[in-house]
Each structure stands twice: as C-alpha cells, then as structure tokens.
Structure 1
C-alpha cells in the first residue's frame, strides 16, 4: 500500500505543477471533479488506516495515551480534529 500511495503522491505533485489557468474550461471542470473523487477516496483510505492503528493499539505501544493524542502529535492536528478522525473511523468500521 505504501508504494501505491507514493505513486499517487508523485502523480498529484505533477498535477500541482500544472498551471490551472492554461486549461480549457471543460478540462478545468473535469479536473475539479476528479480531484474531488480522489479526495474522497483518499479520506476513506486514511480512515481505514486510522481504524486499523487504533484497533492494534499502536498509539499506546508508542507511548501515547490514546490514538487521538497520537494523531494530534503525528499529523500536527488539533485535538478536536484528531478526535473527529478517530470517531469517524470507528463509526465507519462499525457501521454507525
């Protein structure tokens, strides 16, 4: 999975280097739609990873008091944002 994510990161970096102003309007709209779809899929991957890390107890094994605290430190998030990610990952996993 890491290899695939690295490839995706490289592809996105190439897109970021493309001048949006130079795109015809229809391509610009299509690019926006594609970026949104990718963003949603990537969010789902991120939540699945968070759920797995939480289930394994990785945060505590690495000395954090909780997955929320570990995410705050690791991803430089606010505690509220980290809590939302953990809660959403748990809810998606349990179907709630």
Structure 2
C-alpha cells in the first residue's frame, strides 16, 4: 500500500503543459490524475488481496469508494480555487 501511495503521489505531481494554462486544464488534469491514481492504488490493493488470500473487493464497494474520492476532489479543488482567487484579489488591492 505504501508503494501504491508513492506511485499515486508521483502521478499527481506531474504537471502537463495543458494543466498550467487555465483552470479548465487544471480541472481536467485533476480528473485524469484522480482516475489514474484510483485505478493504480485499487489494483495494487486487489493484487495484494489475491496474493495473501484475503477476500476481494466487490465492484459495488469500489464504485462507492470512487464516488467518495470524486466528491472529496471536487470539494478540495473548490476550496483551493476560493483561496487562490481570494489571495489574488488581496494581492491586487495591496499593489494599487
């Protein structure tokens, strides 16, 4: 699980050129990295579960976990956007 976490962090830290240009590009990269990271991490978990003989996760459980992760990503991105916009407005006021 630790290796999966490191791999997901490495994927999320990549910043393709399109994600630096606009909020839409950044939102798109957030969605792509979320799906890639979720698939990578959960496939590692399923592999370990099969290797050690534990019960496997069902599709229903995986979909609920994905839905929860998507909601968290949207909430955190919205909070980040609000903080950045607030900082930009404050910076513009102080520079005037």
Q: TM-score range by the shorter chain?
A: 0.3 to 0.5
TM-score, normalisation: structure 2:
0.40
TM-score, normalised relative to structure 1: 0.40
Larger gyration radius, structure 1 or structure 2: 2
